[in-house]
Chain A
Amino acid sequence: MGRVILHVDLNNFYASVECLYQPELKNKPVAVCGESELRHGIVLAKNQIAKSYGVQTGEVIWQALKKCPNLVILKPNFPLYIRFSKLAQQIYSEYTDLIEPFGIDECWLDVTESTKILGSGRKIAYEIKERIKAELGLTVSVGVSFNKVFAKLGSDYKKPDAVTVITKENFKQIVWPLPAKDLLYVGSATEKKLSSIAIYTIGDIARSSPEYLKRILGKWGEVLWIFANGLDTTPVTPPIFEDNVKGIGNSITLPRDLNCLNDAEYVLRMLSESVAQRLRQQYLKCCTVQIWIRDSSLFSITRQEKLKNPTFLAREIFQKAFEIFKKHWNFKTPIRSLGIRALDLVCANSPYQLEFNSMEKLKLEELEKTIDKIRRRFGQSAVLPAILLSKTDLPCQIPLHNQIHPVAFFK
C-alpha cells in the first residue's frame, strides 16, 4: 500500500481568527496588517471578501486600501494565532503522531497507518475539516495524496473549506494542467526561466527530460522533474525527529531609521538579550554570532564571527555583535532593520577551554539565569539593561518570540 499524506491548510488564518472573535466583521472585507507606525505596514492576511477585491498578502496598506477603500484593518494578535495553531495540531494528533508543521497554519500528516483503523485518507480529511470547523470555528482546505508535494498542491487546489484527493491515477488530469508556479520551489525567477524555454505548466515540467531541466536550472531542475512526476519520497518528519536547531535569532524593523552607532548599540543590546534568553531556555550555547543589517534602500548584508568560547551570555553576544557591526557598517545609508543570530549551537554543558576569568564567567551565567527567573515571574520588562531606557522613540521590550516559521522542505 502506498503512503497517505494529508496537507491541512487553515484558510486565511489570521483574518479568520479575528473574524471569529469579532463576528460583526464577518460580512466586511478584513485584513490583518502590521503596524504602519512601526513601518511593518503590510497585509499579513485577508478574509475571503477582501480577497475578492484583489487585496493580496504582502502588499502595503495604502495599496490594499486603494483596491478596497472600506477595508477593515486589524492589528495582529500573535499569541491568539499561536493558541489556535496548537489547538489545530491537537486535533491532528488524534489521527497520527507523524505531523510536520510548515509554518503556523499548515501541517503535513502521514496517516498511512491510521487508514487501517480510521478509514481512507479522504474520510480522515473530511473528519478533520469538520472538526476544525466545529471546534475552532475555522475552515481548512485539505490535500490528500501519496506524497507531500501533491498533498500541498491539493490543499491549494480548492479553497476554502475543501478536500482534494490526488491519486496516482488522477494526478495527470489534476496536477499537470496547473501553471508551473504552483509547484513547490517554483518561484518567480524559476517561473521566468521556465517560460523562456516554453515550459508553462507542471505537465510541461514532467514531460521534459531531467537532464535538460538540470542544464537550465541546476540541481533544482532535476528536483522539479521528480516533483512534477509524483516521485517525491520525502518523509513527514515531526519536529522531535528533526536535527537540533541550527540557530536562534531575532530581528526587528524599527519605527525610525538608525543613524548613529549609539542607535545601533541600543538595538543590538535589545536583540542580544532576547537571543541569549532563548538560548538559555533551550539549554544551548552558541559559538558564532551573526548580524543582519538592512538599510533604508532595502539592501541587506549578513556578517558573522566566531566566539572564543561558547556562550549564552547576553553581554558576550552583544559585544561580539557590536564588534562585527562596527567593522562592517559605516552609516553611509541609514538602517531600517537589524538582526542577531546565534549559530554553531552546542549543549550548554559541553566542555570548553578554561580561561583566567572562568570563575567570573560562571558568576555572570548565574546572574543572567536569575534574570530569566525574574522575567518569568514578573514579565519581560522586570529587568532591563539601563541603555534600553535611554530612547523613547525606539522599542525597549525584549521580544521572546517562539513562532513557527516554515522550515526548509528538505532537511
Chain B
Amino acid sequence: MRKIFVDVYAHFSKEGEITPISFVWLDGKTYEIDKIIEKRNAASLKSGGQGIRYKILVRSKVLYLFCDENRWFLEFI
C-alpha cells in the first residue's frame, strides 16, 4: 500500500469543520470527491501515519484520504 501526498481543496465551515472537496492526483488532474462516506480518527497501518480518515467515493471508487497534521495523503494500492 503506497502513501501518496496530495493537494486538497477543502471547505472550512464557520464551526471549524473541514470538508475536503477535491484533490490533485499525480497526473495533475483535479478529482472531485463525490461523497464522504465516513469520517473518523484512524491509523493508516499499511501506508503509515495517523489522522482524520475520510472514506471517500471518487468516480465510484472508494478511497481513504487522511489528514495527518495538516498534510493530506491517500492510501493507494
Q: B28 within 8 Å of A by Cβ?
A: no
In contact, A136 and B48 (Cβ under 8 angstroms): no
Bound: A137/B41 CA distance, A: 10
Contacts of B43 on A, CB cut-off 8 Å?
20, 133-138
B67 to chain A, nearest CB (A): 14
Contacts of B41 on A, CB cut-off 8 Å?
87, 135-136
Residue of B40, B41, B42, B46 with highest tally of chain A CB at under 10 A: B41
Annotate B31-53 by CB proximity to A: 1 below 8 A, 0 otherwise: 00000000011111111111000
Q: A83 within 8 Å of B by Cβ?
A: yes
Q: How many residues belonging to B are interface residues under a CB distance threshold of 8 Å?
A: 12
In contact, A137 and B40 (Cβ under 8 angstroms): no
Q: B27 within 8 Å of A by Cβ?
A: no
B59 to chain A, nearest CB (A): 27
In contact, A20 and B42 (Cβ under 8 angstroms): no
In contact, A20 and B47 (Cβ under 8 angstroms): no
Q: B69 within 8 Å of A by Cβ?
A: yes
Contacts of B46 on A, CB cut-off 8 Å?
23
Annotate A62-105 by CB proximity to B: 1 below 8 A, 0 otherwise: 00000000000000000000011001000000000000000000
Q: A352 within 8 Å of B by Cβ?
A: no
The 4 closest A-B pairs by CB, nearest first: A137-B43, A135-B41, A23-B48, A21-B48
Give chain B's interface residues, CB within 8 Å of chain A.
40-50, 69
Please list 8 pairs of residues, one from A and one from B, whose beta carbons are closer than 8 Å in the complex, sorted by A's number.
A20-B45, A20-B48, A20-B49, A21-B49, A84-B50, A87-B41, A136-B43, A137-B50
